Structure 1
Amino acid sequence: MKTILLATAFILAPAGVACPADINETLPVASAYDWSGLYAGVHFGYVAGKSNLFIAGSGPGGTDLNSALDPDGFIGGIHVGFNQEMANRFVLGAEADITYNDVDGLTAIPGGTGTLLKSEIKWSGSARLRAGYAFDRTLPYTTAGVAAAKYELTGITGTPSGDILLHDETHVGWTVGAGVEHAFTDKWIARVEYRYSDFGNKELSAGVGLGTVATDVDLKTHDIRAGLSYKF
């Protein structure tokens, strides 16, 4: 009888008792985060601008006027984009943003005329491509594309004649940058990003009696931004 019971137990054991390997196979395996999809969010940051105003023959003693303008300040805006994660963990995407700027500067015109130049970046925006490599929920990336900014220059005279609007134009150029994103939930993604933008140069939009005198004003910016996105 004992022999029969032992033989029966031996036969039934593989069907009723799980070995460690079987237990490991049945445990759920956490899947990697998928970056593919549409997202939108908000961002804010700080901008340091570099600009130079050139007017031929308008400096002291008839020399050329070269006035450095360095507007800086804070920004806030929105962005929307789309990512596609490849099988090799590379992530490609496109993004657009629009930003309200509280970025300005005040500079004295050389030569002791008493006139001040106020420079203001009213808004800026861009349309860019992005490329990165996913480390599960963390995504370092680079970005580059087209950028635009509304730039104004005003002469503050301090006289009854009032201020003089020298420049009020939309500059179009390019931008390049890098950043890192982290998905701290399946839907919410935080980011920090650096961007350099070159908006090119333009002639002054108001002649203010300068006639055919050569004029030129350029604009470049360094941005540090932080943001929060929601993935749909």
Structure 2
Amino acid sequence: MRLLLVGGIAIAGLVPLTALAADLGTARPAPAAGWSGFYLSAGGGAGWWSADQYTDFGGIPAPGPSAHTTGSGGFGTVGGGFDWQFAPSWVAGAFADVKFGDIRGTISAPFEQYSGTTSNRLSYAAGLRLGVLASPNALVYVNGGYSHADFTGSGLDPTPLVPLSVAGHHHDGWFVGGGIENSLDFTGIASPGWFMKTEYRFADYGRETAQMYVTATGAPDGAIAFKPTAQTLSISLVYRFNADEAGGVGLH
């Protein structure tokens, strides 16, 4: 349900921007060219994760129920990439980006009824995107590729006779997403090279074990098997280095 809700919000936000970009293309004709080249981006947004987990003893799942927990929070992001306009209305590209923030939630060892707090502080991704120009200055695209996420460790509650903690854990997986990127010229201020990108992503990560240990000595004491999925919605400013060339995007 959350996936459908967030996806709906993202799509609802994209439609007015697409229409506005289309109107701009009608009022100020521009050549369908200039998207090829390097760019940098920076922005922020909101993220949500959910995770299935169970207590793990030496690779053997403990008997009893599993747990499902969630987390949410904000993040900043920076990235860059290269696009290639291979047809009048089609653009393909490769990119990489990093997210850093505090998307915080609960981690649980349900067999032992312990729980703690874990936060997705760092994620990075690399992938490809393919888009179509809704107007000369607005690109609607889909993307996908590799993603990595780091989660922090914490103490566990309720505190047992011997206090326990859980270590940080690291996950590799994949993502898919989509968005719209449009020139900032629609603000009425000439801004060659500057664009705005609104994007939604869904990421699915592999199951990894987060080691539990005795807080005082570091001695191992079982583990928590943790498998998260994550969703993000972000808005970024983009600077395209090709935009000051003759015939570039946003100059006409």
- Given the two structures, how large is their TM-score scaled by the length of structure 1? 0.74
* Aligned partner of 2:193 among 182, 187, 200: 187
Please give the alpha-carbon distance, in whole angstroms, between the structure 2 residues aligned to 1:30 and 1:131: 21
- 1:49-105 deviations in Å (ceiling 9; x for gaps): 011221158xxxx84241222011001020101111123321010110011121111
Q: Which one-letter code corresponds to 1:229 in the other structure? A: V
- 1:3-33 deviations in Å (ceiling 9; x for gaps): xxxxxxxxxxxxxxxxxxxxxxxxxx85335
Helix, strand or coil at the partner of 2:87: coil
Please give the alpha-carbon distance, in whole angstroms, between the structure 2 residues aligned to 1:163 and 1:224: 38
Please give the alpha-carbon distance, in whole angstroms, between the structure 1 residues aligned to 2:163 and 2:103: 19
1:99 maps to 99
- Cα deviation for residue 215 of structure 1 reads 4.8
1:154 maps to 154
Structure with greater Cα Rg: 1
- Cα deviation for residue 182 of structure 1 reads 0.2
- Cα deviation for residue 142 of structure 1 reads 0.5
> 2:54–2:111: 8 Å Cα contact kept in structure 1?
no
> 1:33–1:186: 8 Å Cα contact kept in structure 2?
no
Q: Which one-letter code corresponds to 2:104 in the other structure? A: D
**Runs of 5+ unmatched residues, structure 2:** 1-28, 185-190, 242-252
Please give the alpha-carbon distance, in whole angstroms, between the structure 2 residues aligned to 1:108 and 1:40: 39
Helix, strand or coil at the partner of 1:31: coil
Q: Once superposed, what is the RMSD of the aligned Cα atoms?
A: 2.8
**Runs of 5+ unmatched residues, structure 1:** 1-28
2:228 maps to 219
Change (3 A) 1:67 1:117: farther
Which one is further off, 96-105 or 165-174? 165-174
> 2:197–2:235: 8 Å Cα contact kept in structure 1?
yes
Please give the alpha-carbon distance, in whole angstroms, between the structure 2 residues aligned to 1:172 and 1:32: 38
1:138 maps to 138
> 1:147–1:175: 8 Å Cα contact kept in structure 2?
yes
Relative contact order: is structure 1 or structure 2 higher (C-alpha 8 Å, sep ≥ 6)? 2
For the pair 1:116 / 2:115, whether they are aligned, the reply is yes
2:202 maps to 196
- Cα deviation for residue 126 of structure 1 reads 0.0
Q: Which one-letter code corresponds to 1:123 in the other structure? A: L
Helix, strand or coil at the partner of 2:117: strand
> 2:52–2:69: 8 Å Cα contact kept in structure 1?
yes
Q: Which one-letter code corresponds to 2:230 in the other structure? A: T
Q: Percent identity?
A: 25
Please give the alpha-carbon distance, in whole angstroms, between the structure 1 residues aligned to 2:142 and 2:150: 25
Please give the alpha-carbon distance, in whole angstroms, between the structure 2 residues aligned to 1:48 and 1:109: 21
Helix, strand or coil at the partner of 1:64: coil
- Cα deviation for residue 207 of structure 1 reads 5.8
1:3 maps to none
